[in-house]
A and B are shown apart, each in its own frame.
Chain A
């Protein structure tokens, strides 16, 4: 039963499930590296998904749709930036409010669009070598027969890595998340840097939403993100705030997601004669239960947290030191 076709399907489903997590996760990572936690990812993704969808329905141009989604996500995050950076509001409260607002607005304004379809980003192979790459067994079609947004997400991983660790702006951004006072002393504009990071984060969340409504599903459905924004928040922790690990984590979470569907074709239970079958089969049933499986990304994240803090000598979590701390200059 579990032949090459099965694994090719599983690989494809894993890669498919990971794109939205990579995009939203990288965005959240950039924001958090500058010290700003944004729990509004789910709301910003929904706003991106809907605005991108409506734009595409109206203009017929999915590129324009993607652009509008990115702008809408960025605009939405601007509220968060203003509240948290300029007004020193609580980041957790502001983010949750953003999700609330995004969900309410999209449910209301998206109502007459649910059920519409749109012709969005088609699946393409890469130019020149693409047709060859697709021939690679199992992973070929999964990776190289994709939409532009899938490729863009993959490409963004090294881009964000380069940006954060090998550009001045990136290093300044990180320094703002680690120690804003020192960064300020060194002449870094803490406020500007944090605004930048939050807006990039919102833009990427908007893009993640547009990927769902314009590339992956090509429909609008209220709350179609179905909690993926929160998984993206977990993913950043799972990746311990490193962009390259976002990719790894997104694939792992994508695999959990795909397994929920693909494992249904398989029977994992032990035969009646097998030793301990009576004890183990209920355990296997529980572990493979799709509802239980949907907790795995969160449990994996917690496990990473616990293992990291217990093992590391210096309790180095890699969490930006100034995460969730607002910053203000005392001017007098």
Chain B
């Protein structure tokens, strides 16, 4: 029921979910003999009627039918928007590709939606939020002819892949720009919930800034909501009145960008461009270019060469990157960032070098980072 979304935060979960991720299995434990699968096979005997019809694994030359499932309504900004933009790009690109999407699908409902898509002939299901992981992993063994691709989780199966992007690398680039732009050497960061996904991005941003400007410190405000524009505005006011002159944002609204610009602070953000809201103070946005994943994946499915894997790529694959620069960002800042980007892509530089997290495993980075790097004031809240 829609109201619940508003007052009781079903919506809070929305974008969020996708933005965050689990643990383990980064190495891609395919062919899973996961404990949950056995139960699931049993528990959905009733659905077999719908499963078998119309489903064929695509091989070369056949059409591919792909369904995308989002947890939120697709608005003009945010996590689901980025996936939806990519869906439209690939749909446009390939004449052998048909796509459908469903929005505002809660994790408790996703199994039904997937079953319906499969029975209507979908070959591949893209589920774009963390909460879909269990249902998808449980269903995959029952529908071996369907390909499942889950974004932001950690479970894989023989016919279920996992994909995600290293957005923190793009945050690092924003940090480089911020370190060069700041005059007060104080950065502000508005974030939703203190979970590893967000902490990783904050740390990368601050590391980027300190790589070009060691005097930089940063302050974080947690708003405890994925969408709460008034709270974001309050948080930005608190940060700028404390002296921050660059603001970065992790909430699915343009409020932070807008308020930063009003307070004459540079505004950086994520997932989609918010240039209009930032005006002359707009810096840039760390964006997902999901088409860089969807296109090759769909091509592989089209050619019949798809295999399950755990995809976690970054700048070098183009799946994450920067958007367009704001109109007033100086050229020397842009060129410095471009140099750093080349170094990151070539491996000459890493985000975590010379930090306490240097040499940590992907699995640690993915799900266990629970503390700030040096330069961020205060401590991560306990829960």
Residues on A lying within 8 angstroms of B by beta carbon are 5, 8-9, 12-13, 16-17, 20, 42, 46, 96, 99-100, 103-104, 107, 111-117, 212, 216-219, 221-228, 230, 257-258, 260-262, 264-265, 267, 285, 289-291, 294
Contacts and interface: CB of A to CB of B under 8 A. Distances in A.
B147 to A, nearest CB: 30
Contacts of A267: 378
Contact of B258 (A107, A113, A218, A260): A218
20 contacts: A13-B234, A16-B233, A17-B230, A42-B3, A99-B7, A100-B1, A107-B2, A217-B255, A221-B253, A221-B255, A223-B11, A224-B229, A226-B225, A230-B7, A261-B221, A261-B231, A265-B238, A289-B382, A290-B381, A294-B224
A222 B227 contact: yes
B2 A9 contact: no
A131 to B, nearest CB: 20
B1 A257 contact: no
Interface of B: 1-3, 5-7, 11, 73-77, 219-225, 227-231, 233-235, 237-238, 241-242, 252-255, 258-259, 272, 274, 276-277, 377-378, 381-383
A117 B76 contact: no
Contact of B277 (A107, A113, A115, A264): A115
Contacts of B74: 111
Given A114-B75, A116-B276, A226 B230 contact: yes
B77 A114 contact: yes
A264 B380 CA distance: 10
A150 to B, nearest CB: 13
B2 A114 contact: no
Given A115-B76, A217-B229, A261 B5 contact: no
A290 B230 contact: no
Nearest to A293: B224
A257 B231 contact: yes
A219 B242 CA distance: 24
B237 A12 contact: yes
Contacts of B6: 42, 46, 99, 103, 223, 225-227
A119 to B, nearest CB: 10
B383 A99 contact: no
Contacts of B253: 114, 219, 221, 224
Instruction: Report the 5 A-B pairs with minimum CB-CB distance, sorted nearest first.
Output: A115-B76, A226-B228, A114-B75, A114-B76, A221-B253
Among A46, A107, A111, A222, the most chain B Cβ lie within 10 Å of the Cβ of: A222
A223 B2 CA distance: 11
Contact of A221 (B5, B229, B381): B229
A289 B382 CA distance: 8
A259 B96 CA distance: 55
Nearest to B279: A117
A103 B5 CA distance: 9
B242 A265 contact: yes
B223 A219 contact: no
Contacts of A289: 381-383
Contacts of A228: 230
B237 A115 contact: no
Contact of A9 (B241, B255, B378, B381): B241
A96 B241 contact: no
Contacts of B224: 260, 290-291, 294
A224 B383 CA distance: 24
A149 to B, nearest CB: 13
A103 to B, nearest CB: 5
Given A13-B234, A212-B229, A222-B75, A264 B5 contact: no
A297 B381 CA distance: 21
Contacts of B237: 9, 12-13, 16
A13 B231 CA distance: 10
A48 to B, nearest CB: 14
Contacts of B2: 100, 103-104, 107
A216 B255 CA distance: 10
A285 B382 CA distance: 8
Contact of B254 (A103, A219, A291): A219
B222 A264 contact: yes
A216 B233 contact: yes
A96 B11 contact: no
Nearest to B228: A226
Given A100-B1, A216-B230, A261 B383 contact: no
Nearest to A14: B234
Contact of B230 (A224, A230, A265, A294): A224
B219 A265 contact: yes
B3 A100 contact: yes
A9 to B, nearest CB: 5
A228 B234 CA distance: 15
Contacts of B238: 9, 13, 261-262, 265
A221 B231 contact: no
Given A16-B230, A115-B272, 10 more contacts: A5-B241, A9-B241, A42-B6, A104-B2, A114-B77, A221-B75, A223-B5, A224-B229, A225-B6, A260-B224
